Every structure is written in C-alpha cells, then in structure tokens.
C-alpha cells in the first residue's frame, strides 16, 4: 500500500511537471507573438510624421545637419502618404508632380528617397498644404495643436514659417471645410513658385516645417 501511494505521488508530480512545462511553453509563444506584433507596429511608424516633428531639436543650433536631413526625408514620405490618400484625381496629381499618376501611387520609400531633389520638395510642399487644411478642420494629429486654433492663425503661421508675404492669399482657400483638387492644385503651383524649394533645399524646408509646427502649437 505504501509503495502504491509512492507511485501515485510520483505520477502526480510527473503530470504536474508536464503541465507546468506545457503552460510555460504556451506563455512564451504568446509573448513572442505579442512582441513581434509590437515590433511590426513600430516598423509601420518608424519614420517622423508631420504630427511628431521634434521641433525643439530641429531649431536647436547644435543639432547636426544629418538629423535635420533625415527628418526632412521622413516628412517627404509622410507628405507622400497624405497626398496619396487625399483622393486627388490622376489629372490633379500629374499637374502637381512631374510623375505619372500610376507611378506616383505605387512609389515606396526607397523610390521616394532617390527622387530628384525638386520632386521630393514638391511632394513635401503638397503634404504641407494638405496638413494646413486638416489642421483647419480639426482633423490633424490632436497632439499638435491646442484644439482652438483658427484658420486665420494657421495661415499666419504659414506666412511666418515661409516668409512669403503673399501667403495669406495663397493658402486662405485651404482652411475651408471643403477643399477641391482644383483649389489644392492652384495653391500648390503658387506656393512652389513663392517658396522656392530648390533654393531652400532639404535643411531649409525641414526648418520651415519646424517653424510651422512650433507656431501652430502656440497659436
């Protein structure tokens, strides 16, 4: 009887050990899956958007040019996503950019990073104009503004950041509740002429973006 009890106890210990091992393996598998899921989400947002520009660092005179240039590259890509998702027609896209509309929509980050400087700058400015519109209707990142900014203040921030005195006339139409492709194309063409993206270059445009972000957070 004693021997039988010992065998039963050993069997129980063995079953308990196996159960713990099985549960442990299951938990590890779930943890790995969750970690992979988090990593995937991080990879999806692994670039600076208009909503999370490190304004203070960009405007700091001690910040390296490479950091500013990298931020600009991220903003060009985020601008591309904004433009692509805005619902512009093929004709509107081809009026704004010297790229076939089908080719434009199919671009990835590597292609965008290797575009001519002028094409990158044009995409950047297109994204900026769409962001102005989204800010005005309260549909931009809520962490950016205080929620009380007016269309007039947004336009003023654009003028302050770009130094374009005619900015009020150029972008006032963007702060309406509705924005057509025709209005966006018209504003875009004028802004490209006035801002001079080729002259400013990547660093100048990144600084302009930071100035704009800094201004609207304090409006």
| Per-residue pLDDT tens digits for 141-184 | 444 444 567 888 888 888 888 887 766 777 888 886 677 888 88
Question: Are 99 and 189 in a shared domain?
Answer: yes
- Counted domains in the chain: 2
pTM: 0.71
| Owning domain of residue 19 | 1-46
Q: Residue 45 pLDDT > 60, yes or no?
A: no
Angle between helices 181-195 and 197-217 (to 10 degrees): 110
pLDDT at 105 (0 to 100): 92
Question: Are 145 and 121 in a shared domain?
Answer: yes
CA-CA distances (angstroms) from residue 207 to 50, 65, 203?
A: 13, 11, 6
Question: Are 78 and 115 in a shared domain?
Answer: yes
CA-CA distances (angstroms) from residue 114 to 73, 110, 137?
A: 10, 6, 33
Mean per-residue pLDDT of the chain: 75
pLDDT at 38 (0 to 100): 30
Question: Are 123 and 89 in a shared domain?
Answer: yes
């Amino acid at each position: 009887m004693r021997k039988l009890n010992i065998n039963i106890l050993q069997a129980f210990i063995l079953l308990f050990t196996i159960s713990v091992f099985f549960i442990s393996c299951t938990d590890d598998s779930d943890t790995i899956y969750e970690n992979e899921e988090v990593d995937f989400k991080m990879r999806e947002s692994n670039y600076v958007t208009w909503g999370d520009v490190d304004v203070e660092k960009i405007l700091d005179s001690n910040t390296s040019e490479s950091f500013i240039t990298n931020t600009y590259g991220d903003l060009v890509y985020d601008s591309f996503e904004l433009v692509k998702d805005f619902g512009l027609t093929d004709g509107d896209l081809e009026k704004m950019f010297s790229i076939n509309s089908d080719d434009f929509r199919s671009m990835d980050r590597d292609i965008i990073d290797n575009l001519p400087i002028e094409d990158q700058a044009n995409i950047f400015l297109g994204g900026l104009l769409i962001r102005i519109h989204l800010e005005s209707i309260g549909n931009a990142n809520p962490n950016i503004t205080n929620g009380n900014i007016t269309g007039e203040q947004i336009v003023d921030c654009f003028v302050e950041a770009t130094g374009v005195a005619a900015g009020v006339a150029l972008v006032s139409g963007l702060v309406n509740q509705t924005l057509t492709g025709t209005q966006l194309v018209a504003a875009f063409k004028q802004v490209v002429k006035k801002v001079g993206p080729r002259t400013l270059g990547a660093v100048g445009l990144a600084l302009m973006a930071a100035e704009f972000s800094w201004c609207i957070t304090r409006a």
